[in-house]
Structure 1
Amino acid sequence: MDKEQLIAIISDKIKLIRVEQGYTQDQMAVIIGVSKKTLVQIEKGRILAGWTTVVAVIALFPGSSVLKAACGDSPLETALTIAHQRYEWEASRQEEWYWKPLEEKGSVVMEQHAVSGHYRISDYNTGRRFTSVDRTEAEMTLDRWT
């Protein structure tokens, strides 16, 4: 897959991604940084999304099943590889430095990010993750998952 193919694929799937995520055209346009008019043109197949829009969609909707079906299990890795022609990194445990554990129930833990203050729920058995800026919503998710 090359850049043009990825642009065509994401442009074709952008409406499905929007609907899957439960956003209106107005909301989606704000989230991905385009005008509503541009989003409508992309969704109707009149124009293709630009590269930066494609990368924004991939980065902002990493859990999208539509994206994963179109690009594989790691759409961001696909975009990084296409952009750089190769992409290499070392696994790091530094991520743990940024997260303060708040509550743990079995394999599910609620943490708060030390810099941004947002919350993360992680289920270490399933690998499932949830993030929110709203603590109440995070606590409800923690309760629902346990």
Structure 2
Amino acid sequence: MTREELVWELDRQVKLVRTEYGLTQEAMARALGMSKKTLVEIEKGRSSLGWMGAAAFCTVFSGSQVLGRLLGGEASDMVRALAFQDLRPTYPPTMGGRVWWRTVEMRGGFRIQQNILSQHYRALDSQNGRVCSSFDLEQVRRQVDELEVRG
């Protein structure tokens, strides 16, 4: 999935999430830091959240069941995977992937997992710390291999 594809999917879910949270258009627009007019245009398919708006949407409504079902868990995971694509940040520990993740393979002291809905990959160290994430399994493998060589 690309950033553009994520934004397109999220644009289509705005009204459902607003309904899920019981918000008026005015209240949701205020929560997202946009005008009601802009929100109405997004809900009608005439405008878009854009990347920054999508990231804010996923953060503000991270507990949404609508977004959880669409993206396979917490929406912010998907945003991080796309935001850090081709970058190598230091991630905080995870819960180890008990619900939305399946282990694809073990490589040394690392576990490569794939999200069962969004299909993106991540690698965890032995303490469940995320070391990388991407939609490209080969990229995750290369990063894990580099960490094993350095380790």
Q: Would you say same fold, with TM above 0.5? A: yes
Structure 2 length-normalised TM = 0.57
Shift of 1:90: 3.7
The aligned residue for residue 58 of structure 2 is 58
TM-superposed deviation, 1:91: 2.1
Cα offsets for 1:52-90 (capped at 9, x unmatched): 111111001111011011111121011011011066514
Q: Percent of aligned positions with the same letter in both sequences?
A: 38
Q: How does 1:56-135 map to 2 (within 5 A)?
A: 56-85=56-85, 88-91=90-93
CA distance 1:88–1:71, shift in 2 (3 Å): farther
Higher relative contact order (CA 8 A, sep 6+): 2
Gaps of 5+ in 2: 95-151
Aligned equivalent of 1:48: 48
Q: After the TM superposition, which parts of structure 1 deviate over 4 Å for at least 4 consecutive aligned residues?
A: none
CA contact (8 A) 2:63 2:74 kept: no
Cα distance in 1, alignment partners of residues 92 and 20 from structure 2: 33
Q: For the residues of structure 1 that align with 2:61 and 2:5, how far apart are their CA atoms?
A: 19
Corresponding residue number in structure 1 for 2:26: 26
User: Match of 2:142?
Assistant: none
Paired residue total: 92
Structure 2 residue identity aligned to 1:59: T
Distance in 2 of aligned mates of 1:91 and 1:6 = 25
Structure 1 length as normaliser, TM-score? 0.59
Q: What's the counterpart of residue 149 of structure 2?
A: none
The offset of 1:29, in angstroms, is: 0.3
1:46 to partner: Cα distance: 1.0
> 1: CA distance between counterparts of 2:18 and 2:33?
14
